């Protein structure tokens, strides 16, 4: 942001980007105008352990060259069984173009909800939480746990949307984001 000459900014993190957004919020609290987390890819230790088997299976296929099978397992894991088959060609192409990032995620340290630095963050930064009404576990539990911890946070559910809510329901998603940003403009 310094490079762009931006002093204060709003941060939005979806899925894996939720962990990145959390790191920004914790490291630069004085520069964050607000934080928006949509089905963030942060976990409790228990959720992290429970999700490893599916990710490992997905990676196994990807590294052995069965990218289609690995991508299908991963998308269905985060968006619900059968989702990959319903995806339009451009979405599948995007998944294939980015599937290599799963290898990087394997070595990234996880962002855990148990982090005591999170308590009271909603008193320092306005927070908006967005969940997909049809998102598979652990996403609904993650959003609920964060809202329980951050009672001052906004909590929105986009009904009938799964994890890819920003693509499947862009109008509702963008309306929530725009309303939150407009409500929390500073200087």
pLDDT in tens, 133-187: 999 999 999 999 999 999 999 999 999 999 999 989 999 999 999 999 999 987 5
Res 109: pLDDT: 82
**Cα dist. 146→22, 72, 182 in Å?**
12, 29, 22
Rounded Cα gap, residues 170 and 130, in angstroms: 13
Structural domain boundaries of the chain? 9-43+110-183, 48-107
CB burial class (10 A; 0-12, 13-18, 19+) of residue 44? Answer: middle
**Main-chain dihedrals φ then ψ at residue 143, nearest 5 degrees:** -60, -40
Give the class (CATH, top level) of 9-43+110-183: alpha beta
Q: For 170, which DSSP code?
A: H
**Model pTM score:** 0.86
Res 48: pLDDT: 76
Average pLDDT per 10 consecutive residues for the chain, totaling 187 residues: 90 94 93 97 81 83 92 88 90 89 80 81 96 94 94 96 93 98 87
């Amino acid at each position: 942001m310094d490079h762009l000459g931006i002093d204060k900014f709003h941060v939005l993190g979806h899925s894996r980007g939720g962990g990145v957004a959390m790191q920004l919020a914790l490291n630069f609290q004085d520069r964050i105008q607000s934080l928006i987390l949509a089905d963030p890819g942060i976990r409790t230790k228990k959720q992290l352990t429970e999700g490893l088997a599916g990710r490992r299976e997905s990676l196994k296929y990807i590294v052995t060259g069965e990218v289609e099978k690995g991508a299908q397992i991963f998308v269905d894991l985060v968006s619900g069984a059968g989702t990959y088959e319903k995806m339009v060609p451009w979405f599948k192409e995007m998944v294939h173009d980015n599937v290599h990032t799963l290898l990087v995620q394997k070595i990234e340290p996880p962002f855990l909800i148990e982090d005591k630095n999170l308590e009271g963050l909603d008193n320092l930064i306005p927070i908006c939480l967005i969940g997909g009404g049809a998102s598979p576990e652990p996403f609904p539990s993650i959003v609920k746990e964060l809202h329980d911890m951050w009672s001052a946070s906004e909590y929105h559910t986009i009904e009938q949307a799964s994890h890819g809510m920003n693509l499947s329901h862009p109008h509702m998603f963008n309306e929530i984001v725009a309303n939150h940003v407009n409500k929390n403009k500073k200087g």
